[in-house]
Amino acid sequence: MEVTIRRVEFYEINQVVSFLIEQFKDIFLTLKIEEEVLIQLFSTAMRCEQCFIALYKEQLVGVLTYSTREHASFEVSLKDVRKMTGWSKFLRFYYKVMRDAVVVNDNQIYLNSLVIHPSFRRQGIATQLIEYILDEIKVSEYLLDVMKTNQEALALYKKLGFKVIKKRFNTLILKLM
């Protein structure tokens, strides 16, 4: 399936954040933070230049974000999280979302969010997004992580040349070799 891939425009931030939250809803439900609050937190934190979208006939069907040593794709203010959610939800947010972030060195990028709409999976869109970013952003190392249980994604990453370099409790960190 042929899609258009490009960077997110400022006016699309809320749509992209809502899409990401919907696709990661299992994770976000455990935070017990209202969706509107999550949208507000992530919309103000998104760096458009580090977020690519895939469009099929103008419909948003995929998102890929990346982080560098200098900037995360979402620079969430922990102070804002605490202020908007209270202490207990803040702690839950920190431990679920922030604590296990992959450390990125110079000349590396971390592909931290790759999401394809369920109706458009297994049609080559994830491959197109990854190949696009490999062409667009030139660094010596590309890292990503994946849930150990997400065997479809793991198979895709391995097919594209990523290898497991570290195992965590419930995730694997991979590097393009």
Per residue in 80-121, pLDDT (tens digit) is: 777 777 777 666 666 566 555 667 788 999 998 899 999 999
Q: Are 116 and 80 in contact (CB under 8 A)?
A: no
Q: What is the pTM of this model?
A: 0.85
CA-wise closest residue to 109 among 76, 70, 150: 70
Which pLDDT score is estimated for 100? 58
CA dihedral sign of residues 137, 161, 130, 74: negative
d(CA 63, CA 19): 8
CA 151 distance to own-chain centroid: 17
Q: What is the side-by-side strand order in the sheet with 162-167?
A: 4-7, 51-56, 59-67, 108-116, 141-147, 171-176, 162-167
Q: What is the full per-residue pLDDT of the chain (177 aa) written as tens digits?
A: 889 999 999 999 889 988 988 887 777 666 676 778 777 777 777 788 999 999 999 999 999 999 888 887 776 767 777 777 777 766 666 656 655 566 778 899 999 889 999 999 999 999 999 999 999 999 999 999 898 999 999 999 999 999 999 998 888 888 997
Taking the domain 4-176, which CATH number applies? 3.40.630.30
Which pLDDT score is estimated for 101? 65
Q: Which residues of 65-85 are buried (b: 16+ CB within 10 A; e: fewer)?
A: bbbbeeebbbebeeeebeebb
Which pLDDT score is estimated for 90? 66
